[in-house]
Amino acid sequence: MAKEHVIRFKDKHDLDVYAYDASDVVIRYATLFMGFYGRDLETDPRDLAPGKKPGDEEHQKARMGIFPIFGGSVRLSWHDLRDNLIEHTFSFDEIFPDLIIPHPKELDDRIIWEDPLFNDPGIILEIIDRTLNIYTVIELDTLIPGTDRIETITHRTKVFTREF
């Protein structure tokens, strides 16, 4: 039987936010205060993010910067498709109480555990109309079966979803 392996957040993580069918998205987290798909003035027309299309997930990366584990409360606000305001505050400590990052267990025998070169794990916040999805993204160095070569696999897992 293979050894049970666990990957955990250590001291920092990356982050990004993606919005679909929403507007006026604002995130406040650690040193980050950022808004997008917003109005410059209250009289400006609404800047609605387009709907999610097949293949959009392939382009989602966590690249907003490196943050300490975990940098306090995450405060999100946005307007849904019908222009209703949604506000939600949470902590990554609630989502990841044991700091475990999911990974595909079927790769345990291929992952290079002795000297892992894991990049900083990423967290993706995805807003779709009235839904918040949270994903982890991690790059794993793995051996290609039957060779000495290494390939890096990007693994993404949905860890949380909530409808408002």
Percent of the chain at pLDDT > 90 equals: 55
Inform me whether the pLDDT recorded for 48 exceeds 70: yes
Q: What is the DSSP letter of 111?
A: B
Q: Model-level pTM greater than 0.85?
A: yes
pLDDT at 31: 86
Inform me whether the pLDDT recorded for 56 exceeds 50: yes
**How far apart are the two ends of the chain, measured CA to CA in Å?**
43
Which of 10, 4, 23, 8 has the alpha carbon at shortest distance from 127?
A: 23
pLDDT at 49: 93
Contact 110, 145 (CB under 8 A): yes
Contact 36, 94 (CB under 8 A): no
